[in-house]
Amino acid sequence: MVTANIFHCRKNSWPPEEYINKVTLQLLDFDSSAPPEQAWRRRLNSHANILKEFSVTFMEAIKMVRLGIRMWSYVREEASHGRKAPIDPFTRESCKPSASQGVPLGGMGSGSISRGFRGEFRQWQILPGLCEASPVMANQFSIFISRDGGNKSFASVLAPGQHEGLGSRKKGDDHGISSWGWNLSGQHSTYHALFPRAWTIYDGEPDPELKVSCRQISPFIPHNYKESSLPAAVFVYTLVNTGKERAKVNLLFTWANSIGGVSHLSGDHVNEPFIAEDGVSGVLLHHKTAKGNPPVTFSIAACETQNVSVSVLPCFGLTEGSNITAKDMWGKMVQDGQFDRENFNSGPSMPSSPGETLCAAVSASAWVEPHGKCTVAFGLAWSSPKVKFVKGSTFRRRYTKFYGTSEKAAVNLVHDALTNYKRWEEEIEKWQSPVLADEKLPEWYKFTLFNELYFLVAGGTIWIDSSLRSACMRSDPYQVTELESADVKVTEAKVSRQGSIVDCTIGSAHDATATAGQNNWDENSSRDSSDEEESVAPLRKEHSTGTLQSSIMADQQYDDDDDVGRFLYLEGVEYVMWCTYDVHFYASFALLELFPRIELNIQREFAKAVLCEDGRKVKYLAEGNWGIRKVRGAVPHDLGTHDPWNEMNAYNIHDTSKWKDLNPKFVLQVYRDFAATGDMSFGVDVWPAVRTAMEYMDQFDRDGDGLIENDGFPDQTYDTWTVHGVSAYCGCLWLAALQAAAAMALQLGDRDFAETCKRKFLKAKPAFEEKLWNGSYFNYDSGSSGNSKSIQADQLAGQWYTASSGLSSLFDDSKIKSALRKIFDFNVMKIKGGRMGAVNGMHPNGKVDETCMQSREIWTGVTYGVAATMILAGMEEEAFTTAEGIFIAGWSEEGYGYWFQTPEGWTIDGHYRSLIYMRPLSIWGMQYALTLPKAILEAPKINIMDRIHISSANGGFSHNETTVRKIAAKSNCFGNSVFHCAC
């Protein structure tokens, strides 16, 4: 916990009165229209500088030339099949990345649209794995103001006129959006972000006597597994008239029938008006996607009240040949302030022609009395019920469980958003208030903590309504079934009479019968999953021992169905791989804290994958060698790209079955989740995979000292940074995994396995310290290369998880603090005085380790992880100073402009690599360290390893799971357990 005297002053506080006039704040201080004190802020006229991407050095290029040639060939081959390679360093976006991002729209897993801090809608990710970065500039809010007497009038788009997405300034004969009134300077307008909400305050712009607040709200609500899946957002405009004359205010919401890029030009798009219940009315925009992708329907709407009238223009175009042009539409609004009511009766439009852009508009008009106030609410929703992956698998999105698959679902979505947003806000404020009110925490940390969650919406997330059952865990464990396909032999799970898992495989991508019945969406099937398909075992109250467990129990008020579906999120928008596991190790704290049932389901997915094998051949690009796609016993690097769950390990630079960090990370994450939630059914379900993952690692202990050795290539998450012999990173993870596996085995009653793990731990720990401890920190590795004695920022990753799980420290406290102090003094403070984060590698002479591009990079997520480790070690001040470097370099006004697109890392000169990346979610590892679950805090303070008494000299892994079987039987028959219970 943070001690009371650490932060005696408010560091990096951005009081809103420095950005907004105090009088304006007071006028807006009602109905949540004023931004909170703790928010990230920007002026709308701030320059959105172009970001600088990293480049490799000459020597690095020489080393990677063969990899580059093979990758170029692979990228071209994938393109020839109409597929995007998961890693493609050769293709550049036409829209250069800039410091322009803001809070994204919508909930999780139903496609996402980001909204820049100046108001542009950009970063479109409606289709799986595809991201269109360019803004669609026809999508705007505009305002038209007139006053009694007619001597004052204003008309302006509510976004700055100088914008890289707008193109050239308007010409007299232009019929497109440049003919609109781009009159806003942005000098007196500010943006305030506290995910999942954002506020834009127009302090007398464009009308000096009108204060305007636009509040953006999305349904990201922790522990609410229904509404957090909804593709919808609300924009609430609060108008305050400070003048002496009554003001007629007309707000306009325009939207193009587009999913980003050039999709608006493909043709066959249709718009139609609608009138729904409770005064909600607007326009549906039916978008026919290219290349056979599922269609998308947008809904833009406003809510009519006693003081607010709503009108629509279902169709207008951007060129002179359009029946109604953008220029005509703007002129109508300037003259009348609204559209004709007859437009609601116009019905569906004619389909658009190729090359034609079809747009729609919704207007909301209200009178605001002198010194009066008024509220106008707009809604946006999009419905794309099917998720279709490139290799053909099709699923239903999570929200369809509640709204169905009809195109008309968009009407119900936008209606519910407009009628429920106040409750959403109450729940969001209840969640965030304890952190925001904690005066011991620095201000920058509070809003960065919440704003980094943008990735769970904008990180390419997919959330489907589907059972977790699969071939690997549905058969009688004593039977063997063999399936043949052209490419791979698959065998279902079988369990020996002694209880150990013998074999399991996954279905081939070319064998539709292996997967279609379990995962794919049959369009004629029922909308709701049947009871037989449910696989998340009910949580029993007798195991409710922690705050996270209490949250899980509370989830039932939102969703009575235990099946919360299946969840995917990308490693990053540039690294298109689902649920990359070595990175999930860092990011998963956010899901565990906020959506624990999703986190447990992801772990179940990987537990099944451990027991599976896919024998299809894959060429690995680093060395040009061949191997099989998925080895039984190895934790997969990812769940795939073009056919997730069925074709795992899209990553093909190295053979990750030889990586040394994936299996220990799986064991550590499983145990942390098991300890934090107290969910015994989860522990029983995944235990066979934990054992198998540990057994698999035996092959990497070449000298019998209990330690795993690295193999002289980058065989871990730092996949360009070669390791020789025993390494600090993988070795520490392995020690921690031995302890976690022993603890879990003891709690599940598998005492023989617990003894084996303890025996290995007692042998490995002194060997690790002897080979790597140099008196002040652990050397990078035990080899003799020029960087073997480097100070690695991530050297205590295993200790991070050990402390997070309530286990005893791996090393003496003096060693832990000494290593952390070395990292702080060298990797943090020697890089621009601690204002950039922790560099991955640093030589003991104080120079950055430039062995490879990753050793010289500062990794944002690793820095947060190091800070979390420091908190758990009682070094709070160093922890927040370390993490503050990421804020300064990435989020502050003096930084590089990486807000809401935090990259994997940057160099000491601020050049980024891989924007919008998963790992920075590890800031929630800091919050987890500050507020450890009750189950962990109240656990007995005895060293659990001391409770394991070694009874024999047997040094190998045992196969006695009798007691675990008894636990399974006592706990009830779990639908997804590999154990065959006879209750």
- Per-residue pLDDT of 2-25, as tens digits, reads 444 433 333 455 678 788 888 988
Round to whole Å and give the CA distance between 600 and 252: 44
State mean pLDDT over 439-467: 93
pLDDT value at position 952?
59
At residue 912, does pLDDT exceed 60?
A: yes
pLDDT tens-digit map of 873-894: 999 999 999 999 999 999 998 8
Burial of 164 (0-12, 13-18, 19+ CB in 10 A): middle
Overall average pLDDT of the 856-876 stretch? 98
At 932, the amino acid letter reads L
CB 257 within 8 A of CB 287: yes
Whether residue 514 has pLDDT greater than 50: no
| Tens digit of each residue's pLDDT (9 = 90 or more) over 417-430 | 999 999 999 999 99
Q: Taking a C-beta distance cutoff of 8 angstroms, is the pair 338, 365 a contact?
A: yes
Token pair belonging to 792: 């690695």
Of 91 and 720, the one with more pLDDT: 720
The string of pLDDT tens digits covering residues 246-300 is 999 999 999 999 999 999 999 999 999 999 999 999 999 999 998 889 999 999 9
| Closest to 82 measured CA to CA, from 10, 38, 130 | 130
Band (pLDDT 50/70/90 cuts) for residue 500 is: very low
Q: 502-511, 747-756, 828-837: lowest mean pLDDT where?
A: 502-511
Distance CA 535, CA 288 (A): 35
In sequence order, the 6+-apart residues with CB closer than 8 A to the CB of 513 are 483
| Higher pLDDT among residues 213 and 519, named by residue | 213
Please give the Cα distance from 461 to 452 (Å, whole number): 15
Distance, CA of 596 to CA of 578 (rounded, Å): 18
pLDDT at 144 over 50: yes
Tens digit of pLDDT for each residue in 541-574?
A: 233 333 454 554 455 454 545 689 999 999 999 9
Q: What is the pTM of this model?
A: 0.89
- Predicted confidence (pLDDT) per residue in 168-217, tens digit: 444 555 789 999 999 999 999 999 999 999 999 999 999 999 999 999 99
Domain topology for 569-938: Glycosyltransferase (1.50.10)
The pLDDT of residue 212 is 97
Of the candidates 290, 269, 273, 291, which has an alpha carbon nearest to the alpha carbon of residue 282?
A: 273
- Mean pLDDT, rounded, for 439-463: 96
Question: Which one is predicted more confidently, 513 or 374?
Answer: 374
Give the span between the Cα atoms of 486 and 488, in whole angstroms. Answer: 6
Give the phi and the psi of residue 208 in degrees, each rounded to 5. -60, -20
Tens digits of residue pLDDT in 377-415: 999 999 999 999 999 789 999 999 999 998 889 999 999
Helix axes 860-872, 581-594, angle to 10 degrees: 60
What is the Cα–Cα distance from 925 to 307, expressed in whole angstroms? Answer: 47
* d(C-alpha 397, C-alpha 367), whole Å: 41
The structure tokens listed for 63 are 């080393």
CA atoms within 13 A on the CB side of 167: 13
Q: Determine the angle formed by the axes of helices 876-890 and 443-451, rounding to 10 degrees.
A: 60
Q: How far apart are CA 252 and CA 83, in angstroms?
A: 39
Mean residue pLDDT of the chain comes to: 86
Residue among 232, 127, 98, 34 nearest 900 (CA): 98
List beta partners, residue 255.
360
In 3D space, the residue among 418, 388, 412, 390 whose CA is nearest the CA of residue 399 turns out to be: 412
Whole-number pLDDT of residue 953: 52
pLDDT at 728 over 50: yes
- Residue 320: which pLDDT band, with cuts at 50, 70 and 90? confident
Distance CA 147, CA 244 (A): 10
Q: Is the pLDDT of residue 763 over 70?
A: yes
Q: How far apart are CA 795 and CA 729, in angstroms?
A: 5
Answer whether residue 522 shows pLDDT above 80: no
Residue 948 has pLDDT above 90, yes or no: no
Confidence band, pLDDT 50/70/90 cuts, at residue 151: confident
How many angstroms separate the CA atoms of 882 and 884, rounded? 5
Rounded-to-integer distance, Cα 336 and Cα 894, Å: 45
Residue 540, pLDDT > 80, answer no
User: DSSP letters along 499-567, please?
Assistant: S-EEE-----TT-HHHHTTTTS--TTS-SSPPGGG--SPPPPGGG--SHHHHHHHHGGGT-S-S---EE
- Residues 465 and 472: their CA atoms lie apart, in Å, by 19
Confidence grade of residue 163 (pLDDT, cut at 50, 70, 90): low
Task: Write down the domain spans for the chain.
Answer: 22-52+97-163+176-421+449-469, 569-938
User: How much is the average pLDDT of 501-515?
Assistant: 37
Share of the chain above pLDDT 70, in %: 84
pLDDT, greater one: 26 or 219: 219
Spatial distance between the Cα atoms of 494 and 472, rounded to a whole number of angstroms: 9
Q: Which has more pLDDT, 741 or 149? A: 741
